[in-house]
């Protein structure tokens, strides 16, 4: 795209962002329908279907950046994207309305488990960035990149088992988590595409995935070229502007889930996407032909810590269940907003390296 004018590149970037928004809304509705028909439940549905589909822009950017040898951009988008995408919960909180915060309405502890999985995986990624190059498997794959994929699968199993047979009995009066598992359906809450066949819903889901993936390619190509022309640091650009653009599927699907009343699905979408996103380091290693994590650097370490802190804030919110809103936001979202602002400002003071 180097031969295109900056104005045209900006149009491509904005077009890719618009496509990801539209596809994200369709992803949320088709996932909701597939959850009911396949019996996955909204927790697992958000953790698997929406998290993988919503991470398709990151997948496209990871492959493109790693193939071009732009490893800091690949690492910055994957790690920095966690903080940006966690802040999507603030947008969902605002969309819920002025009466009760999102974390009050969730009414389940499954999002806390999902958040803990994110913390474990990010910790593994940060530890992996400190490993010597000689530890790479076959000289191509970091042990941490492979390890987080294994831990992700184990986490899926544990979360699914815990949601099917909880060992705790928790009373959360006033909560509205949304639709439950298929054996406890709410008949008064019809699912989208009720009159459509499962095959048609699956086809629409696949179409939305294809659009999201194609939009991710457009975002990476146009965005990277614009950042180069503006002389913007690749890590900061990947962790802020590009990460926000690729978070649009989560924003649109999260708002759609909240409007459907599926508050647990909204949180499962965001936290599940963050957990799956770090698994893409394995893809980056394979495409680049060498471990990408050593290229992460101090800026990404800062962003990883910020993402973990924001995840913990919302985990606390689900357990504490704040009842009051200020400016349509719960106190956890207000705290997350303040911390995020400080974290982004701190990027410009991080020691080089």
Higher pLDDT, 239 or 106: 106
Which stretch of DSSP H or E encloses residue 271?
Answer: helix 263-277
Tens digits of residue pLDDT in 126-168: 999 898 888 999 888 999 999 999 999 899 888 878 877 777 7
| 6-172+197-349 CATH, one of 2.60.40.10, 1.10.3210.10, 3.40.47.10, 1.20.1420.30 | 1.20.1420.30
- Given a cut of 90, is residue 89 above it in pLDDT? yes
- Given a cut of 50, is residue 304 above it in pLDDT? yes
What pLDDT does 1 receive? Answer: 66
pLDDT interval class at 266 (50, 70, 90): confident
What pLDDT does 39 receive? Answer: 62
- Decide if 266 contacts 299 (C-beta within 8 A): no
Spans of all domains in the chain = 6-172+197-349
Higher pLDDT, 73 or 136: 136
How far is it, in rounded angstroms, from Cα 351 to Cα 142?
A: 25
What pLDDT does 61 receive? Answer: 79
What pLDDT does 22 receive? Answer: 80
- List the beta strands (DSSP E) in 167-296: none
What pLDDT does 48 receive? Answer: 64
What pLDDT does 191 receive? Answer: 60
What pLDDT does 187 receive? Answer: 42
What pLDDT does 166 receive? Answer: 72
CA atoms in the 13 A half-sphere facing the CB of 186:
14
What pLDDT does 248 receive? Answer: 75
Residues with Cβ within 8 Å of 340's Cβ and at least 6 positions away in sequence, in order, are 83, 87, 306, 310
How far is it, in rounded angstroms, from Cα 94 to Cα 54?
A: 21
Residues with Cβ within 8 Å of 54's Cβ and at least 6 positions away in sequence, in order, are 24, 27, 212, 249, 250, 253, 269, 273
Tens digits of residue pLDDT in 188-232: 455 667 777 888 888 988 888 888 778 877 887 787 778 778 776
From the list 273, 240, 237, the residue with the least C-alpha distance to 254 is 273
What pLDDT does 184 receive? Answer: 35
């Amino acid at each position: 795209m180097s031969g295109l004018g900056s104005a045209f590149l900006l149009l491509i970037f904005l077009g890719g962002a618009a496509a990801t928004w539209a596809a994200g809304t369709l992803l949320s509705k088709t996932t909701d329908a597939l959850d009911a028909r396949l019996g996955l439940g909204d927790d697992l549905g958000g953790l698997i279907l929406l998290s993988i589909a919503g991470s398709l822009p990151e997948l496209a950017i990871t492959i493109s950046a790693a193939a071009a040898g732009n490893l800091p951009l690949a690492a910055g988008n994957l790690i920095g994207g966690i903080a940006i995408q966690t802040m999507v919960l603030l947008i969902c909180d605002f969309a819920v309305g002025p009466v009760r915060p999102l974390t009050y309405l969730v009414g389940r502890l499954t999002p806390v488990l999902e958040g803990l999985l994110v913390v474990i995986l990010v910790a593994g990624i940060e530890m992996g960035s400190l490993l010597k190059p000689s530890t790479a498997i076959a000289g191509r794959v970091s042990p941490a990149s492979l390890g987080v994929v294994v831990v992700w699968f184990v986490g899926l199993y544990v979360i699914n088992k815990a949601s099917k047979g909880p060992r705790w009995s928790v009373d959360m009066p006033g909560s509205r988590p949304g639709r439950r598992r298929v054996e406890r359906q709410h008949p008064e809450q019809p699912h989208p595409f009720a009159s459509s066949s499962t095959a048609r819903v699956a086809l629409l889901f696949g179409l939305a995935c294809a659009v999201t993936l194609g939009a991710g390619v457009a975002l990476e190509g146009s965005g990277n070229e614009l950042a180069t022309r503006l002389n913007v640091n690749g890590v900061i650009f990947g962790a802020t502007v590009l990460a926000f653009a690729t978070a649009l599927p989560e924003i649109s699907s999260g708002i759609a889930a909240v409007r459907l009343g599926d508050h647990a699905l909204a949180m499962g979408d965001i936290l599940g996407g963050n957990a799956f996103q770090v698994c893409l380091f394995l893809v980056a290693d394979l495409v680049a032909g060498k471990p990408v994590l050593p290229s992460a650097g101090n800026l990404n370490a800062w962003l990883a810590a910020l993402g973990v802190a924001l995840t913990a804030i919302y985990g606390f919110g689900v357990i504490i269940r704040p009842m009051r809103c200020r400016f349509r936001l719960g106190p956890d979202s207000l705290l997350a907003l303040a911390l995020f602002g400080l974290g982004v400002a701190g990027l410009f003071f991080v020691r080089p390296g």
